[in-house]
Structure 1
Amino acid sequence: MNATPKVGLVELARAIAPLIAGEADEIERTRRLTPAVVDALIRNGLYRALLPQSLGGAEAPIEVFMQMLEEIAKADASTAWCLGQCSVCAMIAASLDHDTAQEIFNTPPGILAWGAVAHEARAVEGGYRVTARWDFASGSRQASWLGAHVRIVDGNGTPRKNADRSPELRTILFPVASATLHDVWQAIGLAGTGTDSYEVYDLFVPERFTAFRDVPSALRETGPLYRIGTGSTFSLGFAAVSLGVARATLDAAIALAREKHQSLAASAMRDNGAVQGLIGRTEGDLRAARAYLYATAHAMWGDLSITGEFSAAHRGAVRLAATWTIHQSAKVVDAAYHMAGATAVFRSHPFERRFRDMHAIAQQIQARDTHYEDVGKAILAES
């Protein structure tokens, strides 16, 4: 089954969420998405959410992508994180020639993952040679292709420069079989993402399997989605994941409060005024964060669809909304965790894993406090 106009991505995500929730313990134990989950994501076309329509992808509006991740995150954060990572990676197809993109994304399973920007590739006849190791490749254990973002040097070792004198960066793509994966992801949260390292030695990458990432002039697709670029799409997607985790955690706390009678307490939790007030305030915080994130995405998408431009103002607005949403989601999870009391510490209850997952999300680049400084600097520079 694939995502179609009749059965949308959000509905498909909601339909397979129970399966994912049922696999969550095994995902945590093995530190990998299970075959059943990967198969469900592929069969339902969710990995193809941001792939161009010219390649058979959904090329979904940004809010649809966000809602899809939010639904999956309610079931399991690691699954949502891998899905978000690999979906955004697929946006590089918009900068590749059609035949190359077809080979990568329409040969099953057609999943691309990549890690952090690092190292150099040397220009040689017909392409590039590279020996390097990269980290933080979420979703790499499901991928058929890997990518890496590298600085380009000429044959004599001279760094290439863009017109503005900045280093020339390219994304190189190669089959996962060309790399050695290192099992290094022993983390407190998002354990199932398999965010491992990967390494290549003296690998030749043909020119056609390279692209400029997030460079509008290099785009071969005209849809507004690809004007946003991968950086801002990662921000919106992972902020949506944080909302899903927060929603599920707060819902679990509400369900617990309806039934639990705390030790030594005179009344049930549901009748406790302090608990009632905490739930009300926390619910308001979560609804406000979600409304802000989606309002920002909606306004940006509306402008982008009309003008075709993703401006610096859009980029700043997205960064601010995504960062703040992740931080607010962490506060919601903390409140729900503490509300659950001693119940929250047991692995048999749906609190401690989400607590760990949320705090792993909050440590990622999308949640850095320095983003507030960047936005504040831009605001102060306005005249």
Structure 2
Amino acid sequence: MLENKKKHSGDYFVNLIKSLTGEILKASDQISYDRKIPDQLLKNMTRSGFFRLLVPRKFGGYEIDFIKYLEIINIVSMIDASVAWCLNQNNVLGTLAAFMPEKLALEIWNDPETVLSNGPSINSTAVILEDGYRISGRWDFSSGFQHANWLVALTTVINPNNTSDEREEIRNMLLRKKDVEIVDTWDVNGLRGTGSFSFIADEVFVDHSKTFIEGAPPLHSGPIYVIPKALMFSSGFATVALGVARSSLNYAIKLANEKTPSKQVMLRDQQSVQREIGKLEATYRSAKAYLDNAVSELWESSLLTGNIAEPFKADLRLASTDAIRQSISIVDGSYSLVGSNAIFNFNPIQRKFEDIHAISQQVQGRMEHYDSVGRFFLGMEHKGLF
């Protein structure tokens, strides 16, 4: 029992992921080229439990401390942003196990190599049938698609008998990859390794037992499942961004201690370089401290009360978005310090530059979140993903 509890702990997985960083680093070029996590590395990670960190224990998950979870994401993000991105995307989707029917959760997570993927819905609809639904639509940006074995398709249910102004029902539909058409749209320069393909369903039948309502309260209790998915995504992706920023700045500092430009003194001895390193370090530490504090307060609220007040949600939303925006400036500043060599693919900072600018375009990093939080602080009705 004690050993089982130890294996469920966040510290266990923090130490375990540290032992895999060398393998992840060695595979980074292949990850980017193939646009997926290599099969052997993926098997090592799934079999070790890294894609069920937030799944309820009763379904074979580990339900670890959320702060420790983000520490794992941070460690991986400093090595490879694409792997860290997939880990966060697929683990947050794993929390859906707490919201779906128990029989469905057991079916999905009984496979030790289960990974879920999803994507934003494009004009998806589901027609009600006697024993299920017939769904059609397209879902884009399905991160980790190539290594997933289940797809979560968020779909609007069309009820032909509904003549009132009643709100349309939104359901999560669980699909197998064989049931959809794969659309390879992922010709990108940043986060290539996420393989965020699109998929299309054309009048696919989904049994009612493999669906559940979006936004319903969890069927399984626990502090993790009180946190809105939007905030788990945002804090996780902000952690990825900060990891990219930290590793970029580390590289610039290392180079400054080694490089002497032609007809100049060593970079470390140039006042402009010293000042820039100081400013970038301050920006990073401020953004990281704010995010850590916002996560800690929200997690403590969930642990102690089983609920999260709006101010904690607003604070984490702001800290997450700001961490992403500040990370862009840190990577850009580090990139500039490296000089002309930064543009070559052999230079690790080139991929980090591409990754951070891909991250900046994702919904969690949008500038509109500042507006939403600003409205909240002004006492106005806010709009956005809290």
What TM-score, normalized by structure 2, do the two folds share?
A: 0.93
1:73 alignment partner in structure 2: 77
Other-structure match for 1:150 = 155
- Which amino acid is 2:370 matched to? Y
Report the 3-state secondary structure (helix = DSSP H, G, I; strand = E; otherwise coil) of the residue aligned with 1:222: coil
Say which of 129, 136, 140 aligns to 1:135: 140
Change (3 A) 1:6 1:314: closer
* Counterpart in the other structure of 2:219: 220
CA contact under 8 A between 1:136 and 1:195: conserved in structure 2? yes
Q: Corresponding residue for 2:279?
A: 281
* Alpha carbons of structure 1 residues 343 and 222: separation in structure 2 relative to 1, 3 Å: same
- Counterpart code for 2:74: E
2:91 is equivalent to residue 91 of structure 1: no
Gaps of 5+ in 2: 382-386
Deviation at 1:229, TM superposition (A): 2.4
> Residue 9 of structure 2 contacts residue 65 of structure 2 at CA under 8 Å; is this kept in 1?
no
Output the CA distance in 2 between the equivalents of 1:256 and 1:44. 35
Per the TM alignment, residue 188 of structure 1 is displaced from its structure 2 partner at its CA by: 2.0
Cα distance in structure 1, aligned partners of 2:240 and 2:182: 26
1:325–1:166 Cα change, 3 Å: farther
Structure 1 residues 366 and 67 mapped into 2: Cα distance closer, same or farther (>3 Å)?
A: same
1:311-363 Cα shifts (integer Å, max 9, x gaps): 33332222111000000111110110001001211111111100000000010
What is the match of residue 236 of structure 1? 235
Q: What SS does the aligned partner of 2:257 have?
A: helix
Change (3 A) 1:141 1:160: farther
- Which residue is equivalent to 2:108? 104
Tell me the amino acid that sits aligned with residue 44 of structure 1.
Answer: S
Which residue in the other structure is 1:253 paired with?
252
2:174 pairs with 1:178: no
CA contact (8 A) 1:170 1:210 kept: yes
Q: Distance in 2 between matches of 1:87 and 1:334?
A: 29
- What residue in structure 2 maps to residue 262 of structure 1? 261
Distance in 1, matches of 2:311 and 2:117, equals 29
C-alpha distance 284-125 of structure 1, shift in aligned 2 (>3 A) = same
Instruction: Compute the displacement of 1:159 (Å).
Output: 8.1
In structure 1, runs of 5+ residues without a counterpart are none
Is the alpha carbon distance of 1:166 and 1:93 closer, same or farther for their aligned partners in structure 2, counting shifts above 3 Å? same
1:219-238 per-position Cα deviation (integer Å, ceiling 9, x unaligned): 11110101112111000110
Which residue in the other structure is 1:117 paired with?
Answer: 121
* Cα distance in 1 for residues equivalent to 2:367 and 2:10: 41
2:128 is paired with a residue of what secondary structure?
strand
Structure 2 CA distance for aligned equivalents of residues 259 and 52 of structure 1: 48
CA distance 1:238–1:3, change in 2 (3 Å): farther
SS in 2 for 1:381: coil
Corresponding residue number in structure 1 for 2:199: 198
Residues 121-141 of structure 1: per-residue CA shift (max 9 Å, x gap): 111112211122211100111
Aligned position for 1:332: 330
Q: Compute the displacement of 1:183 (Å).
A: 1.0
Aligned 8 A contact 2:158 2:168 in 1: no
Separation in structure 2 between the aligned mates of residue 107 and residue 259 of structure 1, nearest angstrom: 49
Mean CA deviation greater in 341-350 or 358-367: 341-350
SS of structure 1 residue aligned to 2:145: coil
Deviation for aligned residue 1:3: 4.8
Q: Are residues 5 and 108 of structure 1, via their aligned partners in 2, closer, same or farther at CA, if it must alter by over 3 Å? A: closer
Residue equivalent to 1:126: 131
Counterpart AA for 1:39: K
Q: Which digits, 9 at most, give the CA deviation of each residue in 1:114-158, with x for residues without a partner?
A: 00034111111122111222111001110010011111111x274
Which contiguous aligned blocks of 4+ residues in structure 1 show a shift greater than 4 angstroms? 157-161
Write the letter of the residue equivalent to 1:34. P
CA distance in 2, matches of 1:6, 1:130: 39
Q: CA RMSD in A?
A: 1.9
Task: Verify the 8 A CA contact 2:10 2:64 in the aligned structure 1.
Answer: no
Pairwise CA distance, 1:214 = 3.8
Letter in 1 for 2:225: Y
